[in-house]
Amino acid sequence: MPTPPYRADHVGSLLRPDSVKQARHAALEDRTMPLDELHAVEDAAIRDLIAMQESVGLKAVTDGEQRRQFWHYDFMGELTGYEIEKRDPEEGIAFHGVKTAPLVPVINDKLDFPADHPHLDHFKFVAANTTVTPKISIPGPSCLHFRTTPDNIHVSDYADVEVLTADIAATYKKAVQAFYDAGCRYLQLDDIFFAYLCDPKHRADKEALGQDPDWLIQRYGWMMREAIKDRPDDMVIGMHMCRGNFQSTYAAEGAYDLAAESIFSTGVDIFFMEYDTDRAGGLEPLKLLPKGKQRVMPGFITTKTADLEDVDWLKSKFDEASKYADLDQLGIAPQCGFSSTEEGNKITADDQKRKLELVVKTAETIWGGVEA
């Protein structure tokens, strides 16, 4: 079996078919469907999505996050000491013109990664149902800190942010090993808050909490390094960065410049970097990518709209990117997932498939193949 990195890839989440949406509503909200029936519906949808990913030529596939409500909260809420509480509707996360469900992360005890974390079984299901590389995307270490405000941290030792972030790093180190032991050789950690901390509004929000955004950028880089530095040699780590993705909207803007040095010092193997609009800034930060085997997957292809990008335009974007990073250290992936929450972006399943076909076609055009 070929091994990553591949020239064509995608971030992870895929649109939920109506069967999954209806079953999750019946089982988790109306309580009219047994959980085993829900899991059977999810299983069937995941098998279909794996087949779709394989059919377009991708060599790394995911479960499309069909068993999750959010790309991050489902994972985080199953960690020891970390809970996701439902609050007043006004406490939802603000995106451009819309808010998410009112869920708030709370730390009630010392953090740890439990041996029975359900995402381990999520990965195993993909591995058992694909002939190519199974991948799972989980939220990165920065998520546990960025989304938690001081008034929702109820462990006295964690008033010291260095103690809290050290425990986060240790929790993720344990998670990385647990996924490896479960057979995972391609793990992606979505650490989007490097990009958020390049946004003046989000920087001001952190400053209002008494937190230095530049210090956080460096500390988030340290957490990632600590989490993955002892991974086995045959385990590939990816990291995705974007500025929010909820029903085709966004939550942040700003170039990568303030965070690029920290990002590229993490030791991550594959960087998925949003680049579908001017909100992401220019490609100049790619010049900080160390020479070698690390790879950047610039997200020139958007998942937010159905409009299909032109291959010649994509080639021109890679001509520009190659001024800052060796073309051999580049690949192509969409800018984000297609369904970071169960609601999904405002596109169709056919649109989604065409976007993934374009990812593969672009890789074949520029590098001669997905495995090149």
Residue 135 resides in a domain: yes
Most confidently predicted of 143-147, 201-205, 272-276, 318-322? 318-322
Cβ neighbors of 181 (< 8 A, separation 6 or more) are none
Return d(Cα 198, Cα 206) in angstroms, integer.
12
The pLDDT score that the predictor gives to residue 243 is 83
- Looking at the chain, the whole-number percentage of residues with pLDDT higher than 90 is 86
Mean pLDDT over residues 88-109, rounded? 66
The domain in which residue 332 lies consists of 18-367
> Please, which pLDDT band fits residue 99 given cuts at 50, 70 and 90?
very low
| 1 falls within a domain | no
Classify residue 8 by its DSSP letter. Answer: B
**Residues near 77 by Cβ (< 8 Å), separated by ≥ 6?**
83, 84, 105
Q: Is residue 210 part of a domain?
A: yes
In a domain, 13, yes or no: no
Name the token pair of 41.
């519906």
pLDDT in tens, 126-151: 999 999 999 999 999 999 999 999 99
Q: How does pLDDT run across 77-90, given as a tens digit for each residue?
A: 999 999 998 866 55
Q: Is the pLDDT of residue 328 over 60?
A: yes
- Structure confidence by residue, pLDDT tens digits, 271-304: 999 998 888 899 999 999 999 999 999 999 999 9
CA distance 41 to 19: 7
Amino acid at 227: A
pLDDT of residue 248: 65
Q: How many domains does the chain have?
A: 1
**Alpha carbon distance 200, 174 (integer Å):** 34
In a domain? residue 301: yes
Helix axes 349-367, 35-55, angle to 10 degrees: 40
DSSP E strands: which ranges in 303-350?
Answer: none
The domain spanning residue 328 has which CATH number?
3.20.20.210
Q: What is the dihedral of CA 295, 66, 123, 118, to 10 degrees?
A: 130
Is 11 within the bounds of a domain? no
> Is 3 inside a domain boundary?
no
